[in-house]
Structure 1
Amino acid sequence: MWHRSKARHSLPRATLGQLYSGRDNGIGAIRLGLAVVVVFTHGTSLGFGWEDLGESLFRNQTNTGTLAVFGFFVLSGLLITRSAARTSLPRFVWHRMLRILPGLWVCLLVTAFVVAPLVALREWGTLHGFWSGPNGPLQYVTGNWFTGVRHYGIHDLLGASTPWGRQAGGSVFDGALWSLVYEVICYALAGTLAVTAVLRRRRWVVVCLVAVLYGVVVVDQIQGRPLLGPPTPYYGSVHLPLLGAVSPQWVMYLGLLFLGGAVLELYRDRVVIHDGLGFACLAALAGSLLFGGFFVIGFPALVYALAWAGVRMPPALRGIGRRNDYSYGVYIYGFIGQQVFASLGWSRWGYLPYIAMSLAAAFAAAALSWHLVERRALAWKDWTPGPRKAVPVPPSVRLPLQVYEPARRRREEATPVGGRTG
């Protein structure tokens, strides 16, 4: 009995580094699930003008869609930090651009030059004046091309025909794009930490950054500064080149989650994965959402719970997103479809039918985006600029040695000793 107990306690503890290796994990399934949650959440406000799903249940701290966005940033920190630490800065930037921008650009073009004209024909009965003006389709594309959203709408389309447009007081085609600018800021942070060798030699700096940002969150909650809603007067907004207006408060909160995932990656050989701790974090997360203290208690619990769920995912779900990653497409196209369906009045059939239509359209658009745009763009991730290299001659077309031997002997016979011909 003693020997059995001793053998059990002598087994090495499972760490994140041991369980999270390669692509055998459930992170793809989690990301797709988070994108689906965003569509479910937007369904209440876009289709019916209700509050976002879960907002009252979560004591107005957050909603299920924003909670899903928080999860995206934790997983990005976990994944992107490994990429930044293992590649050069130019290669890292190239990879990030290929993952975000081509899909976004095509989404903007489809919205401005396919969806919006059809909406204009239905609402106006004509395309007269559609292509010009300060809020036209061209301005929509050029104003949003680098993730920073400067134009949410095109003219006044969807402004009066959708619950969201009537509440927001204007045209909105794709409100889900708001988070991309903060994702790019986190990418820039990861690249900076990599090029300064922090990720390789001074990991403790990242821990200090997490501690500072967590302190800001604690102070915010003590002083009653909410995160949801427009930027508070205390923080205001900052205009950045290419990126447009960003909220410093959102930068710090989302940056905290991103760096939380980064810490798990940097210390993956020390982070113990324990099922009891994973369930305890889920309970703490649920309790903080239902009873308060989400940002102070729920943020750390969310970080660990997602990492734990990613490596404990059942094998049947680990293949999701491994070859075909539809999560990005579902996220950026879901809002557009829901707005169009709401303008057509299709939400009159009820919430569940409306969500079913929204998900079907989002997955169809995501599949097209992945197979026609995103995957083709990612095929260029190993491209390197520079002169073309000489193409080696295949062995199958090389002449045998006997062909060259007579010519070599004739040259040697004609060459004087110690000299050269010609």
Structure 2
Amino acid sequence: MPNPLAWRPTRSLADEFSPRANSIGLLRLLLAVSVLVAHAGPLGYGLANYGFAFTRGQLDFGGLGVYGFFILSGFLITASGMRFSLPRYAWHRFLRIFPGYWVCLVVMACVLLPIVSLYERGTLAGFWTHPNGPFDYVWRNLITVQNQFTISGLMSGNPSGGAVNGSLWTLLYELMCYAMVGILAWTAVLRRTPRLVALMTAVVYLFVVSDWVRQLPVPNTWLYRRGDIGPYPVLGVFSVNSVLFLGLMFLLGASMHLYRDRIPMHPAVAAGAGLAFVGSAAFGGFLAIGPLAYAYLLVWLACKLPRWTQGVGRKRDYSYGIYIYAYPVQQLLALMGGARWGVAAYIGLSLAGTLLLAVPSWFLVEKPAMSLKNWTPRALAKRADPEPAPEPVPALPQVSIPTQRKAPETAAAPVGR
């Protein structure tokens, strides 16, 4: 029987990854569900996010999901930035994030929370006119900056408090990464000087590792807290730790795309990455070792999972809907006593309830919005989108710490407890 780990002529990531036949859709779905599972602890029972116990407080399942999203986004979005003109690229990114996000805000404020008001208070009196009411919630959070977390003082008795959606804060950091790729593509850095992206990745990685080393003498902590920067007009306040760590994950994915012809895809390398990932998560040192191993593992799985997984999410991508709707559904279930049936039942009910919103979100909002990706204003209709310059290797295609207040403790944050 042949040894699967025996070294053989190695194919590169560029050889192995097919834009039309990969398992990224399945991975994104699993990452979204992992955030839901992590939040079951605090939202249902007032506990820490699930996963912290296994990793000695380094990260939880929710953090793992968020980091995975940023790695895959870096890999895919960099390809998108290299394929399209800057206006077309920006239009695609807008369509992927904002229509679904805006409808989610309206559904939470004007559909779910009125139900909560009737359940808690038996009336809608004062709901619409509250100083932190539903219309304020939509307006203040319109551009993904989370300036308001509660609506009309509802759900304040829940185990984790009354935050309506503690997962949305990551979207602002995602948009920052999109903007970075747009600038790097517009300045031709992605095509002509990819070494600059590799250098950026190395610098951010060294910052993260230095923060880990700096905190080693302090018991029961694993990351030096750098605080916040800002506020900035419109964008508000940013967590430096979130910028560094989420930025590192995105840059790792971007670097893997840019150097895909030099990255070997071999089961022995994957096995080593798996051991490094599990070992650093279980015994310590995840910040120093885990990000590199995790990035390789995700992309390797995207190439190597069975063929039947390659169709998941290709025509029906529910991952974004699951991510943005899971938190309010879990809050609603916790309010109504859904957690009393046990953790497994609570997670199952949460997933089922989330799908009731995520599936319509895909068919009624996200998919129709993305069908407009080739739309051009009439005034510009005669100006064709410029063809991208040919690449030397095959091109590839293309998914939290609020800004003005502290994020709810239950959000899948990139810093541990």
TM-score, scaled to structure 2: 0.86
* Partner of residue 178, structure 1: 169
Shift of 1:239: 2.4
User: Does the 8 A contact of 2:31 with 2:65 survive in 1?
Assistant: yes
Which residue of 2 is the match for residue 194 of structure 1?
A: 185
Q: Do 1:238 and 1:248's aligned partners in 2 also have CA atoms closer than 8 Å? A: no
> How far does residue 59 in structure 1 lie from its aligned partner after superposition?
1.0
Corresponding residue of 2:91: 94
Task: After TM superposition, give the deviation of residue 236 of structure 1 in Å.
Answer: 2.4
Residue 313 of structure 1, CA deviation: 1.1
**Aligned-pair CA distance for 1:22:** 2.0
- Code of the residue aligned with 1:60 in structure 2: it is G
Question: What is the aligned counterpart of 1:142 among 139, 143, 158?
Answer: 139
CA distance in 2, matches of 1:375, 1:134: 35
Q: CA RMSD in A?
A: 2.0
Does residue 1:32 correspond to 2:24, yes or no?
no
SS in 1 for 2:237: strand
How much does 1:388 deviate?
9.0
Larger radius of gyration: 1
- Tell me the distance in 2 between the aligned counterparts of 1:249 and 1:269: 31
| Aligned-partner SS, 2:11 | coil
Change in Cα spacing, 1:341 to 1:243, as seen in structure 2 (3 Å) is same
Match of 2:281 among 289, 308, 324: 289
Given the alignment, which residue of 49, 61, 66 partners 1:64? 61
SS of the counterpart of 1:204?
helix
- Corresponding residue for 2:395? none
> Distance in 2 between the 1:61 and 1:12 partners?
37
Q: Report the alpha carbon displacement of residue 223 of structure 1 after superposing the two structures with TM.
A: 1.1
Percent identity reads 44
Match of 2:160 among 131, 141, 164: 164
Give, as a single letter, the amino acid of the residue that structure 1 aligns with 2:274: L
- Please list the CA deviations of residues 48-107 of structure 1 after superposition, one character each: whole Å capped at 9, or x if unmatched: 111111112211111111111001000000000000011111111100000000000000
Map 1:358-397 onto structure 2 (within 5 A): 358-387=350-379
Measure, in 1, the Cα distance between the counterparts of 2:335 and 2:189: 50
Q: What is the TM-score of this pair, normalised by structure 1?
A: 0.85
Distance 1:12 1:281, change over 3 A: closer
Give the match for residue 210 of structure 2: 219
* Deviation readout 1:216-256 (Å, 9 max, x if unpaired): 01110011189x99x97633242233333221221111111
Distance 1:70 1:233, change over 3 A: closer
User: 1:168 aligns to what?
Assistant: none
8 Å CA contact retained: 1:42, 1:52: yes
Does the CA-based 8 Å contact 2:215-2:224 persist in structure 1? no
Spell out the pairing of 1:325-344 with structure 2 (5 A cutoff).
325-344=317-336
Q: Among 260, 285, 303, which residue is 1:311 paired with?
A: 303
Aligned to 1:111: 108
1:355 corresponds in structure 2 to 347
Question: How many positions carry a matched residue from both structures?
Answer: 374
- The 3-state SS of whatever aligns with 1:177 is coil
Change (3 A) 1:251 1:359: same
> Which structure 1 residue ranges, 5 or more long, are not aligned?
1-7, 166-170, 391-422
Taking the TM superposition and a 5 Å limit, the aligned residue runs for 1:394-409 are: none
CA distance in 2, matches of 1:386, 1:366: 33
Q: CA deviation at 1:270?
A: 1.2
Distance 2:338 2:240 in 1: 38
Bigger shift: residues 12-21 or 276-285: 12-21
Higher helix share: 1
Q: 1:74 to 1:233 in 2, by over 3 A?
A: closer
Q: Deviations over 1:258-289 (max 9, x none)?
A: 01000110111111101111121111111111
Q: Show structure 2 runs of 5+ residues with no match.
A: 1-5, 383-417
Inter-partner Cα distance in structure 2 for 1:153 and 1:258: 30
Give the equivalent residue in structure 2 for 1:418. Answer: none
Q: Which has the higher contact order (CA 8 A, sep 6+)?
A: 2
SS in 1 for 2:160: helix
Task: Tell me how far apart the structure 2 counterparts of residues 384 and 289 of structure 1 sit (CA, whole Å).
Answer: 47
Q: Distance in 2 between matches of 1:239 and 1:71?
A: 28
- Checking the alignment, whether the CA contact within 8 Å between 1:77 and 1:259 is kept in structure 2 is yes
